Amino acid sequence: MKIAVLKETAPGERRVAASPETVKKFTALGATVAVEEGAGHAAAIADEVYREAGAQVSPLAETAQGAGIVMGVQAPDVLSLAGAGEGALVAATFDPFGQRDRVDAYAKAGFEALALELMPRITRAQSMDVLSSQSNLSGYKAVMAAANEYGRAFPMMMTAAGTVQAARVFVMGVGVAGLQAIATAKRLGAQVSATDVRPETAEQIASLGAKAVFAEGLEAAGEGGYAAELTDEQKAKQAELVSGHIAKQDIVITTALIPGRAAPRLVSDKQIAAMKPGSVIFDLAVAQGGNVEGSQPDELVERHGVTLMGYANTPSHLAADSSALFSRNLYNFLSAFWDEEAGGPVLDEEIGNAVRLTRGGAVVSERLLQS
Ligand code: NAD
The predicted-structure confidence for 94-152, as pLDDT tens digits, reads as follows 999 989 999 999 999 999 999 999 999 999 999 999 999 999 999 999 999 999 999 99
CA distance 290 to 292: 5
Q: Are 154 and 191 in contact (CB under 8 A)?
A: no
Residues contacting ligand 1 via CB (< 6 Å): 121-123, 125-126, 129, 131-132, 135, 172-178, 195-198, 225-227, 230, 255-258, 264, 266
Those residues of the chain that have pLDDT short of 70 are: none
213: nearest Cα among 194, 198, 230, 200 = 194
Write phi, then psi, for 241 (nearest 5 degrees). Answer: -60, -45
Q: Let me know if 129 is a catalytic residue.
A: yes
- Give me Rg for the CA atoms of the chain: 22
Which pLDDT score is estimated for 236?
85
* Ligand 1 atom with the shortest distance to the CA of 174: 9
Question: pLDDT at position 235, please?
Answer: 85
Return the pLDDT at 234. 85
Longest dimension (CA), the chain: 72
Q: At residue 101, what is the residue type?
A: D
Neighbouring CB atoms inside 10 A of 70's CB total 28
How many whole angstroms separate alpha carbon 50 and alpha carbon 62? 16
| Model pTM score | 0.94
Q: Which residue among 51, 100, 121, 152 is the active-site one?
A: 121
Look at residue 350 in the predicted model and tell me its pLDDT.
97
Coil, strand, or helix at residue 261?
coil
With residue 241 as reference, give the H or E element that holds it: helix 232-246
Q: Find out whether 296 and 286 touch, Cβ atoms under 8 Å.
A: yes
**Which residues, other chains included, contact 279 with Cβ-Cβ below 8 Å and sequence gap of 6+?**
150, 249, 250, 251, 252, 305, 306, 307
**Residues comprising the chain, all counted:** 371
Annotated catalytic residue, options 19, 132, 295, 322: 132
Judge whether 121 counts as a catalytic residue.
yes
User: Which strands form 301-303's sheet, in the order they lie side by side?
Assistant: 211-212, 191-195, 168-172, 251-254, 280-283, 306-309, 301-303
